[in-house]
Chains A and B, each alone.
Chain A
């Protein structure tokens, strides 16, 4: 064999061995990875309930989280931008990042209903842009559909200690508890104000050193509260939960 064909044979053999090995490993762990991801996302939703959820999400085991979703989140549904319920879609599989790529009239939103032994909380999901990359979050509303019961945010690549505080700084996140997304008979979102909140009912403090990320949170909440508005209005005006 010539030198070149030896090299080619070695490289080809190596590629085949590596490809088979990695494909096999991925196949073997895929199921576990998907289950982990599902629980991870469920935890993010539960985190938005803030102090209304006892015990806290961080103290629950994976099995408890899944059981809670199976027993107390059964009224959750997928809705569209016009405020109608969309049948036949799994609410846990709606990804706002993917919805954003679709034409506007085909986009849907997940709407979670947490039935805590009769007391209901409604959780909306949000997606927007921070300084470096995407940010997203969930926010829970009390039974009156306007008072915020809690929120949780996450991000893809904000700066640790600055923009990443939207996830890490629990004191900042807890400011959202008790605020209202409804002002002057309109769903308006919550203002994240640089320099400190003026009216604690509709505003929260900004984050020093992370103005762009904080503005991103502000815009994201306004944006998505607006998208949920038709459905929330329908629920408020008598229809209760509308159709099941």
Chain B
């Protein structure tokens, strides 16, 4: 765990030293918020039925996580201990509202598609967890990197899950965007309204309705955890 950084060594911190790099890479594998800490599962199940909204949510979480960490870290010595949770929540809620307003103004269909889930970033345990565990005890730059790392770790899993769910559930990728592709989808007619590229010769697949439902995300995350632990044996709990 990277939480316990030495405060005395802070005088001559490099911008991208070994520790800083670790802050970004650690949550991608050894300390992944979803597959190792099993946090933020609710939204990972809910929003991953299509690839494009999942990417948008991932970017939003990276943004919220990074800046919430940064702001909290700047304020960490002035936040009164008795109300620190409330203050953290207000910071997160403010940033999420900024994301929501930006989507409404610049990408309205995505906003419609994600509507409630954007607001639910506020309750994402990952964001609050990093504020409490890391940003309250570390300097702004490192907190910022930690936020980006954890956002990316969360987003990476989200995108992998969404890739399989959309492919198996609809046979498409990036449905609803200008680069929508029918990869193995069953009939070109059914999905043609949202497609540009249509690989007809691959159209043999019959949609799997389970992949569209949140349950599929649970299976895929379970398989991901299995795969990760089978090659990264230090994660396996021997007791």
Contact = CB atoms under 8 A, between A and B. Distances in A.
Interface of A: 3, 6-7, 10-11, 14-15, 18, 21-22, 25-26, 29, 32-33, 36-37, 39-40, 56, 58, 159-162, 169-171, 174, 209
Contacts of B86: 11
A161 B209 contact: yes
Contacts of B106: 32
A166 to B, nearest CB: 14
Interface string B33-52: 00000000000000001000
- Of all A-B residue pairs in the complex, the 3 with the closest CB atoms, nearest first, are A161-B212, A36-B108, A29-B105
Contact of B94 (A10, A18, A36, A37): A18
Nearest to B214: A160
Interface stretch (B5-13, B155-163, B186-194, B221-229): B186-194
A170 B189 contact: yes
Contacts of A58: 193-194
B113 to A, nearest CB: 11
A170 B212 contact: no
A111 to B, nearest CB: 25
B83 interface: yes
For the residues of B in contact with A, the DSSP-based class is helix
Nearest to B186: A171
Interface in B206-228: 209, 212-213
A10 B80 CA distance: 8
Contacts of A14: 87, 90
14 contacts: A7-B82, A10-B78, A10-B87, A11-B83, A18-B94, A22-B98, A25-B97, A29-B104, A32-B105, A33-B101, A33-B108, A40-B109, A40-B112, A58-B193
B102 interface: yes
Of the four ranges (under 10, 10 to 19, 20 to 34, 35 or more), the interface on chain B belongs to: 20 to 34
B78 A160 contact: no
A56 B193 contact: yes
Nearest to A31: B105
A126 B126 CA distance: 41
A34 to B, nearest CB: 9
A33 B190 contact: no
A209 B209 contact: yes
B147 interface: no
Given A10-B80, A160-B213, A29 B102 contact: yes
A21 B109 CA distance: 25
Interface in B76-129: 78-80, 82-83, 86-87, 90, 94, 97-98, 101-102, 104-106, 108-109, 112
A26 B213 contact: no
Contacts of A15: 90
Contacts of B97: 22, 25
A171 B101 contact: no
B27 interface: no
A162 B210 CA distance: 10
Nearest to A3: B80
B105 A170 contact: no
A22 B94 contact: yes
Contacts of A22: 94, 97-98, 101
B169 interface: yes
B193 A18 contact: no
Contacts of A29: 101-102, 104-105
B189 A171 contact: yes
A170 B98 CA distance: 34
Contacts of B98: 22, 25
Nearest to A168: B170
